[in-house]
Amino acid sequence: MWAAISRGAGEDSDSVKNLLPFYGRDSIQDSNRLTLFRWNQIKKSKPTVSQTLPLPSDKLVRATFALSDSQIEKLKSFAMIKNPSTFVVVCAHLWTSMARSEAAGDDDDDDDEPCYLGSPVDCRRRLDPPLPDNYFGNCLMPLIAVSSHRRLRGNGGFAAAVAAVVAAIKVVGKSTRVSEFFENRSEIMSELIGKKAIWIAGSSRIDHYGADTDFGWGKAVKFECIHTDFQGGVHLCKGRDGGVELGLSLDKGKMHIFAAVFNKYLYLNSNM
C-alpha cells in the first residue's frame, strides 16, 4: 500500500483500497488460547539487557547467488518426486551445498550429526477459516526439516534433502489447531539452540524487484538483507531477472569453497 501511494495512486483508488491492512486478530483460530500461551511463556522469560550490540565478524563476506529459471527446472528434474516446488529444490540445493562445502573445508566434526533447515511458513491460507492476504500481523509458523550431515553430503544427498523439506512441509500442512502446533514447535525450537542449522529468511515468492515494491523510483537494482550478516542465516527471494536469489554471509575462505560446491552440483546428474 505504501509503495502504491508513493507511485502516485490516490488513497481512494482501488489499488490502495484492496491493500488496506486487516487487523482482525479475533479471526485467528484459537486466538485466546494462543494469546494465553504466549503470555505464560513471556512471564517465565527474564529480559536481558546488553549495553553493546553483537556485530558480525570482520572476517565475513556477503554474497548473492542467483539461480535462473532453467537451473531451477534442472534441479526439479533431479528431485526424484513429482512436481516439486521451487522452494523445495532451492532449499535442498542450498542445504546439501552447505554440508558438502563444510566437509571439503575439514569442518566435519561429526558425520552423523543432525542438521536442520528452518524457514518461516505463511499460515494465513492454512487456517480454518483462512485469513485474507492483507492480514497485518504475525501469522508464521516454523518449518523445521532434519537430516544428517552424512546423508546430505553423500551420494543422493540432494534427494534426501528434498524428502526432508517435503516432510517438514507436510507437518505444517497437517496442523489443525494453531495453538497446539505452536506449543509443540516452541519446545523443538528451544532444543535447536547450538545445533548445526540453516535458517531461511524470506521466500521464493517474495519479489523485492517487482512493481508492487516500486516506490516510484523504478525497479530495484540490488536487494540485500542484513539478517544474513550472522552465519546460518540465508535470505531467499525472487530474482531481479527471474529465478531466485540467495544471500548469505560466511568467512571468506568458506565462501570460496561454498561457491565452488554450489555451482558444481548444479550440473551433475540425479545422483547428486
First to last CA, the chain: 43
Write out pLDDT tens, residues 88-117: 999 999 999 999 998 876 655 567 889 999
Greater confidence (65 vs 140) lies with 65
Q: What's the chain's average pLDDT?
A: 85
Tell me if residue 177 falls in helix, strand or coil: coil
The per-residue pLDDT for 231 is 63
Q: Residues near 268 by Cβ (< 8 Å), separated by ≥ 6?
A: none
In 3-state terms the chain splits into helix, strand, coil percentages (rounded to 5) of: 40, 20, 40
Domain ranges of the chain: 2-44+60-264
pLDDT at position 32, please?
A: 82
pLDDT at 28 over 90: no
The reported pTM is 0.86
Q: pLDDT tens, 122-172?
A: 888 888 788 888 899 888 888 899 999 999 999 999 999 999 999 999 888
pLDDT reported for residue 39: 86
Can you point out the beta strands (E) in the chain? 60-67, 114-122, 140-148, 197-202, 233-238, 244-251
Q: How far apart, in whole angstroms, are the C-alpha atoms of residue 222 and residue 25?
A: 35
Residue 202 CB-density burial (10 A; 0-12 exposed, 13-18 middle, 19+ buried): buried
pLDDT for residue 184 is more than 90: no
Which architecture does CATH list for 2-44+60-264? 2-Layer Sandwich (3.30)
Q: Which of 80-89, 162-171, 193-202 has the lowest mean pLDDT?
A: 193-202
DSSP structure string for 63-93 = EEEEE-HHHHHHHHHHSSSSS--HHHHHHHH
Give Cα separations from 200 to 8, 10, 16, 188 (angstroms). 34, 36, 30, 17
Looking at the chain, the whole-number percentage of residues with pLDDT higher than 90 is 38
> Out of 7-11, 70-74, 196-200, which region has the weakest mean confidence (pLDDT)?
7-11
pLDDT at 14 over 90: no
Closest CA to 237 of 213, 212, 259, 209: 209
Q: Is the peptide bond before 129 cis (omega within 30 degrees of 0)?
A: yes
How far, in Å, CA of 151 to CA of 162, rounded? 12
Contact 124, 205 (CB under 8 A): no
How far is residue 33 CA from its own chain's centroid?
A: 27
| Residue 41, pLDDT above cutoff 70 | yes
